[in-house]
């Protein structure tokens, strides 16, 4: 119901809300906590449906279509099934760590949404270090993955966790460097301010930054084609091999909540967040988030899984140099036009992106060329 | 009122988790306890209106350093049985007591100044001015970074198989 109230309240687009809306501090906190939990759970259900049906269509099959109209109730059935399953803990497991791991992984994924604006000033906490907070908090969920890998005392879990940390440590650098470009143009780290600064959506001014963020973000959350931390053919299911029942459901939820978080961050940083004509802001926000997630599903069905050496090479030889070059170019542009970047830069930046990617793709090859270790 | 409650809650958890780092026999649990300690210290920074520092604390200490520690533990064999016994317990005790004495003396003898000016918000821009502005600290920071880099390169050279 909270979400419905929210949509009704936000009927007039672009209207600034009073700073302490809706009421006092604790009411604000309670309201947005409920909204965020409801939003995440609802959107995750939607995402699971989109992913399974969308992948089905892309792979010339139907996907789940039996439960409810068009298979819409499939996520509900899945959730019920997984909740009723037996919870199995390996006898050699470190029980406490094994039990805590899903919680440690899930809490940061939920905490990210505290600073994401659903509408002008409609967010749990408008921190002036917003994007830095997201980068910091999201690094905590690695610890949860570690705890799962270690606490299960299974070699597949441990291998999955090790692969995960190798990927996360490498891809965090281009991810953050891509964000810095946006922060320089917007002149603030508060996500609300970043959205307000986007008279031109930053994907047009920062096409390379957006691409880098998307690739690095997909790798951070282990989505295919970077899902070799949970490659079923090699290490069963990675760090959550030994989990079942509710705790497995938590990891499943984390996976999609992180995908939702990355989609929401891309929407906020690059696509103008809740801004858009005619429709209410919350609808624009959800629409853009779903579009970004659809692109993730699209890349998942299109690209084959990478090897571990390719994963590392892509991060250090491709994304990192391009992110640095993007940073320098953005800094020069911000120095020349300190107040607002002109429209003329849009084609210029797209041209720079295409030229850079073409040059770099000549420098090193993935797959066909020599194997770099 | 709220700040006091938050401070004491964080302080108690910080001290308990720091004790856990030292006393737990399981190295992996000790590392997790260290992470909890880092998080509570970040919380204390938040109560002191140092939000940028708190985020950096989590990013660097939890996101990078702890992850490296855990990775090192995972690479090590036989850690299930706790830290292996050796004959350095007494020298370690002596060094630890001396270090504790130095720390306690330093804390007691320092005249701590409490500023009356209200906390800066946002803190990001003043920090950037301190770093990049006139007479900023960019050179020492860069020297520290180069030092760390050379240490890493040195470690790789030492550890590399011939």
Provide the mean pLDDT of chain B: 84
Residue whose tokens read 């460097």: A177
pLDDT of residue A16: 42
Nearest-Cα residue of chain A relative to residue B62 = A140
CA distance A124 to chain B (A): 16
Residues in chain A with CB shorter than 8 Å from the CB of B63 are 136, 139-140, 142, 172
pLDDT score recorded for residue A23: 55
Residue A222: per-residue pLDDT? 79
- Give me the pLDDT at residue A229, please: 66
Residue whose structure tokens are 């630890």: B96
**Closest residue by Cα to residue A197 from A334, A35, A322, A351:** A334
- Does residue B103 carry a pLDDT above 90? yes
Nearest chain A CA: its distance from B82 CA (Å): 13
Interchain CB distance below 8 Å, A136 and B56: yes
User: In sequence order, which residues have a C-beta less than 8 Å from that of residue A7 and are 6 or more positions away?
Assistant: A280, A282, A283
Residues of A within 8 A of B124 (CB-CB) are: 128-129, 189
Confidence (pLDDT) at A55: 86
pLDDT in tens, A143-159: 888 888 887 877 788 88
In chain B, where the domains are located:
2-81+121-159
Q: What is the pLDDT of residue B144?
A: 93
Question: How many contacts (CB atoms, under 8 Å) link A and B?
Answer: 69
% of chain A surpassing 90 pLDDT: 6
To the nearest whole Å, the CA of B86 is away from the closest chain A CA by 25
Closest to B52 (Cβ–Cβ): which among A94, A129, A165?
A: A129
Does the beta carbon of A150 lie under 8 angstroms from any beta carbon of chain B? yes
Q: Which of A208, A212, A210 lies closest to A351, judged by CA?
A: A208
Q: Which residue has the tokens 């084959």?
A: A304
Of A140, A147, A158, the CB nearest to B58: A140
For chain A, which residues make up each domain, given as ranges? 2-363
Farthest-apart Cα atoms in chain A, separation: 64
More confident residue, B47 or A14: B47
Would you tell me how many other CB atoms lie within 10 Å of the CB of residue B62? 23
Quickly state the pLDDT bin for B97 (edges 50, 70, 90). very high
Q: In A, which residues are within 8 Å of B58 by CB distance?
A: 136-137, 139-140
Contact state of A165 with B71 under an 8 Å Cβ cutoff = yes
Low-confidence ranges of chain A (pLDDT < 50): 1-20, 371-373
| pLDDT of the residue at B7 | 87
Per-residue pLDDT, B117: 77
Average pLDDT over residues B9-15: 92
**Mean pLDDT within B86-113:** 88
B2-81+121-159 under CATH 1.20.120.1200, yes or no: yes
Contact: A136, B124; criterion CB under 8 Å: no
Q: What is the pLDDT of residues A285-329, one digit of tens each?
A: 888 899 999 998 888 888 887 777 778 878 888 888 889 999 998
Of B29, B66, B71, the CB nearest to A97: B29
Angle CA(A149)–CA(A264)–CA(A43) in degrees, nearest 5?
Answer: 75
Which comes out higher in pLDDT, residue B96 or B79? B96
- Complex confidence, ipTM: 0.79
């Amino acid at each position: 119901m909270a979400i419905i109230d929210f949509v009704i309240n936000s009927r007039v687009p672009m209207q600034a809300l009073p700073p302490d809306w809706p009421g006092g501090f604790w009411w604000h906190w309670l309201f947005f906590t409920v909204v965020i939990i409801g939003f995440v759970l609802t959107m995750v259900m939607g995402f699971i449906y989109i992913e399974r049906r969308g992948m089905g269509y892309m792979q010339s099959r139907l996907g789940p279509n039996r439960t409810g109209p068009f298979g819409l109730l499939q996520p509900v059935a899945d959730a019920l099934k997984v909740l009723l399953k037996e919870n199995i803990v390996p006898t050699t497991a470190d029980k406490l760590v094994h039990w805590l791991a899903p919680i440690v992984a899930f809490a940061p994924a939920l905490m990210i949404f505290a600073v994401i604006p659903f509408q002008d000033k409609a967010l749990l906490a408008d921190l002036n270090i917003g994007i830095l907070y997201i980068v910091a908090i999201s690094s905590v969920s690695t610890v949860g993955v570690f705890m799962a890998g270690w606490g299960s005392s299974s070699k597949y879990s441990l291998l999955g966790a090790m692969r995960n940390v190798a990927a996360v440590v490498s891809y965090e650098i281009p991810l953050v460097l891509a964000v810095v470009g946006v922060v320089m143009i917007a002149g603030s780290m508060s996500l609300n301010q970043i959205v307000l600064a986007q008279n031109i959506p930053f994907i047009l001014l920062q096409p390379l930054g957006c691409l880098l963020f998307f690739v690095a973000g997909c790798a951070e959350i282990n989505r295919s084609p970077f899902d070799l931390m949970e490659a079923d053919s090699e290490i069963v299911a990675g760090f959550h091999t030994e989990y079942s029942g509710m705790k497995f459901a938590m990891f499943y939820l984390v996976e999609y909540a992180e995908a939702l978080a990355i989609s929401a961050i891309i929407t906020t940083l690059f696509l103008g967040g809740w801004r858009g004509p005619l429709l209410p802001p919350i609808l624009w926000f959800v629409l853009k988030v779903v579009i970004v997630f659809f692109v993730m599903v699209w890349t998942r069905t299109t690209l084959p899984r990478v090897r571990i050496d390719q994963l590392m090479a892509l991060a250090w030889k491709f994304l990192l140099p391009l992110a640095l070059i993007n940073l320098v170019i953005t800094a020069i542009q911000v120095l020349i036009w300190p107040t607002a970047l002109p429209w003329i830069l849009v084609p210029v930046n797209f041209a720079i992106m295409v030229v850079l990617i073409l040059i770099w793709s000549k420098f090193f090859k993935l797959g066909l060329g020599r194997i770099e270790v | 009122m709220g700040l006091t409650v938050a401070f004491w809650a964080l302080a108690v958890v910080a001290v308990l988790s720091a004790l856990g780092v030292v006393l737990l026999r399981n190295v992996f649990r000790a590392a997790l306890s260290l992470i909890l300690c880092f998080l509570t210290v970040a919380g204390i920074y938040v109560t002191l209106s140092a939000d940028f520092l708190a985020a950096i604390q989590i990013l660097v200490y939890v996101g990078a350093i702890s992850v490296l520690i855990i990775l090192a533990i995972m690479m090590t064999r036989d850690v299930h049985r706790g830290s292996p016994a050796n004959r350095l317990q007494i020298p370690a005790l002596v060094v630890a007591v001396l270090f504790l004495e130095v720390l306690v003396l330093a804390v007691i003898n320092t005249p701590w100044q409490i500023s009356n000016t209200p906390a800066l918000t946002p803190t990001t821009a003043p920090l950037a001015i301190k770093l990049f502005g006139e007479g900023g600290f960019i050179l020492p920071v860069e020297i520290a970074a180069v030092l760390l880099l050379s240490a890493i390169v040195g470690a790789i050279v030492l550890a590399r198989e011939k």
